[in-house]
Structure 1
Amino acid sequence: MKTLTQTEKIAFSFLIFVFGFGIYFSNTDLTYFDTVYAKEDGYVEYGTAVFLFFSCLLLLYRFFKLQKFKNPLWKFGIIMIALVFLFGAGEEISWGQRIFNVESSEYFLENNAQGETNLHNMVVNGKKVNKIIFSQLLTVVLIIYLIFTPILYRKYDFIKNLADMFAIPVVNWQHTIAFLSCTALIMFMTSDRKWELYELAFGVIFFLIFLNPFNKQIYSANS
């Protein structure tokens, strides 16, 4: 495992702080945890959106800085990842609906579990899209990406070349350990609002991955 960068030390300390207080409040004052600490439109939720948006901006910065040196597949890969994180940031705050006090259309009022203008709370045939796609499917993707991909990348040239070709950043083991640690710590919280903290961890750790991936040569003009 590589030595932690100063940014990683600060970020991981921040997550320890957030999760530590989350465990404390969820077990001693559940009302405060639900209505203040991890509330809807609170600092935790907005923090998640900020880190997801920063990840998008970082990837776009690298695209515009390096695109003249890179092939079309690299450009396609980095733009697609940037768009995914832009989408995540927008969904997290319902595309600014509550910030700008915008009313939902009739369609979203009828088909969204919270009556908001976003996709992850949509209800299809009585089932929430959030549970099917943004929870179950995302869990599978995260397991593959955080645990299996770094192993396969190090072992097989085909996987290595494919990831580098599409500008897919590969995690360092400290990122995997951080995510698994947050997964373990979240189990000590008793409220359903605990997932807001988990999403924040997602935002922070993925920003760190993009900032300092194992295959950082993908962000070099000479690779």
Structure 2
Amino acid sequence: IEIGCTEQMKEYLLREGGVHENLQAFFAFSACVAALRAFRIVEGKWLKIWFFLGAVGSFFIAGEELSWGQWIFEWTTPAEWAEINDQHETNLHNVSSWLDQKPFIIMSIGVLVGGIIIPILQKYRPATLPQKFKDIYADYRVMPTALIALALKLADTFSDATGIHFFWRVQEILELYIFYFIFVYVLVMIDKHRQQINQELR
């Protein structure tokens, strides 16, 4: 849809504090709520730790995308913080690559492995997957979102190499789909573990 938008509409959708960043925060917060729900449903210490960490991480992402409320309440960034923040915002991910690029790379790898490779292996080569992690493997339902994220990453790489751009600020669109993937993943996990519990009760 955005390929056919005017430049003004793209800027409106993708500007700092715009529609896309608000959607990113919405899906990250939704993933946090869903992960807390999963935390209550699942059984076993390590599974509970997995979803608790997912909830904390998703809450952190949501807060960062909104600059912890700056885009809503429009407060001014303190001068001392503005000096060390790349975009002069009250967040952490623009202070260091360790809080921005590194976590993003980890999440991107997670989408590729958890959203594409594992579902394919579960379908065609299930014996190759370590069974001790089977409780956190997602199925084919996460693949559409993961494939879209992969396509956006390839488009971004192609644009960097050729100078031909399909999207305006493709990184923002990619982040949106990664956060949406996390939300979908947790929903799939909730459904998976509910089914397991129901089967055990029969």
What TM-score do the two structures reach when normalised by structure 2?
0.75
> Partner of 1:4 in structure 2?
none
Q: How does 1:144-163 map to 2 (within 5 A)?
A: 144-151=113-120, 155-156=126-127, 159-163=130-134
> Partner of 1:14 in structure 2?
none
Is the 8 Å Cα contact of residues 95 and 118 (structure 1) preserved in structure 2? yes
Check 1:138–1:210 CA distance in 2 against 1; reply closer, same or farther (3 A cut). Answer: closer
Q: 2:144 aligns with which of 167, 174, 177?
A: 177
> Partner of 2:49 in structure 1?
76
Residue 98 (structure 2) pairs with residue 133 (structure 1): no
Residue 60 (structure 2) pairs with residue 87 (structure 1): yes
Residue 19 (structure 2) pairs with residue 23 (structure 1): no
1:106-146, CA deviations, whole angstroms, 9 ceiling, x for partnerless residues? 442121101112222114xxxx4466314434333332222
> Partner of 2:33 in structure 1?
57
Amino acid of the residue matched to residue 23 of structure 1? I
Secondary structure, aligned partner of 1:122: coil
Check 1:62–1:144 CA distance in 2 against 1; reply closer, same or farther (3 A cut). Answer: closer
Is the 8 Å Cα contact of residues 45 and 93 (structure 1) preserved in structure 2? yes
1:79-110, CA deviations, whole angstroms, 9 ceiling, x for partnerless residues? 11111111111111111123123333444212
Q: Which has the higher contact order (CA 8 A, sep 6+)?
A: 1
1:29-86, CA deviations, whole angstroms, 9 ceiling, x for partnerless residues? 324312x12222122211111111111111212323x36xx22222211111111111
Q: 1:212 aligns with which of 169, 172, 188?
A: 188
Task: Give 1:214 shift.
Answer: 9.7
| Larger CA deviation: 81-90 vs 182-191 | 182-191
Residue 88 (structure 2) pairs with residue 115 (structure 1): yes
Structure 2, unpaired ranges of 5+ = 156-164
Cα separation, 1, equivalents of 2:66 and 2:126:
39
Quote the sequence identity (%): 27
Secondary structure, aligned partner of 2:73: coil
Moved over 6 A (4+): none
Structure 1, unpaired ranges of 5+ = 1-19
